[in-house]
Amino acid sequence: MRRQKSFENEMPTLYLVPTPIGNLSEMTPRAVEILKEVDVIACEDTRTSGNLLKHFGISSRLISYQNFNEVPSAKGIVQLLSQGKNVALISDAGYPLISDPGQRVVSDVTALGYNVVPVSGCSAVLNALVASGLVVQPFLFAGFLPSSQNDCRKKLREYRNYPMTMIFYEAPHRIEKMLQACLEVLGDRRICIGREMTKIHEEFIRGTISEILEECKDLKGEMVVVVEGNHDDYSKDVDMGHIMSMLKECMENGASRSEAVKNISRETGIPKNKLYDLVHGKEQP
């Protein structure tokens, strides 16, 4: 288990910095400040990012980080961190790791114990997800689980065999019971708890459920719990009748069959060919 107190240690840091999807006025002051302070900025396209940085008067060194060169680039970023340098990762537009490069380097960096700090400031879900070190896509955001332990376990059983990463909100006075329920229903999976994000006591706790259960009694602040998906056979306990209802509802709202399959596949992580079999009656709901 690793506990990252983002602003209470002197470890080198990888910052995950979103950039505007169109309107440059949406670039936050903190994002500009971070990009000015880091030693190196890793980006998808140095020309595109160069224009953005020029607009905000940012002169930090630029390097390329793309899907096709992600493995060697991740090694290069790790080497920079090992030299004591701070690095920011940005996308051409949007949030790194959300349909953009970054998964490999975050996994490598968190495994080595360096800081990974998200800088969006306005989305606890995405902040915790991209900094978790777990697989980012697909993901399911479930919000708060029911307060009743029976209802909580019932809800977790619905999610137990879904393959996507799952994200939950939880309050500090309930976190121990929530993790105990997760351990009993989901098994001892890898998780990450993000708490006090963007604040001075920001912390990311990464490890297995059983490891973090031993440390969670005195945790404070609202929490986001990111839980590894089930990588075994998804179909054991998934309610395919519910999945069929989701497909029908999507088509009733105007989506074509192929659009509905694509949307539900993205939402649930179930392969599209399985959903086509369900629609055509080859797989029983």
pLDDT digits (tens, 9 = 90+) for 200-238: 999 999 999 999 999 888 899 889 999 999 977 555 556
Kindly tell me if the per-residue pLDDT of 119 is higher than 60.
yes
Contact (Cβ atoms closer than 8 angstroms) between residue 201 and residue 5:
yes
Kindly tell me if the per-residue pLDDT of 269 is higher than 80.
no
Q: What is the pLDDT of residue 235?
A: 56
Residue 226 three-state SS: strand
Q: What is the pLDDT of residue 166?
A: 97
Q: What is the pLDDT of residue 236?
A: 55
Q: Over range 76-80, report the average pLDDT.
A: 96
Kindly tell me if the per-residue pLDDT of 33 is higher than 60.
yes
Cβ count near 10 (within 10 Å): 7
CA distances to 63, 78, 128, 145, 208 from 224, in Å: 32, 26, 6, 12, 15
Q: Is the pTM of this model over 0.85?
A: no
**CA pair distance 238, 285, nearest whole angstrom:** 10
The answer for residues whose C-beta is within 8 angstroms of residue 29's C-beta and 6 or more apart is none
Contact (Cβ atoms closer than 8 angstroms) between residue 66 and residue 86:
no
Contact (Cβ atoms closer than 8 angstroms) between residue 272 and residue 262:
yes
More confident residue, 184 or 71: 184
Q: Over range 138-142, report the average pLDDT.
A: 94
Residue 225 three-state SS: strand
More confident residue, 275 or 225: 225
Q: What is the pLDDT of residue 190?
A: 95
Kindly tell me if the per-residue pLDDT of 284 is higher than 60.
no
Q: Over range 116-137, report the average pLDDT.
A: 92
The residue among 277, 189, 185 whose CA lies nearest residue 225 is 189
Q: What is the pLDDT of residue 277?
A: 83
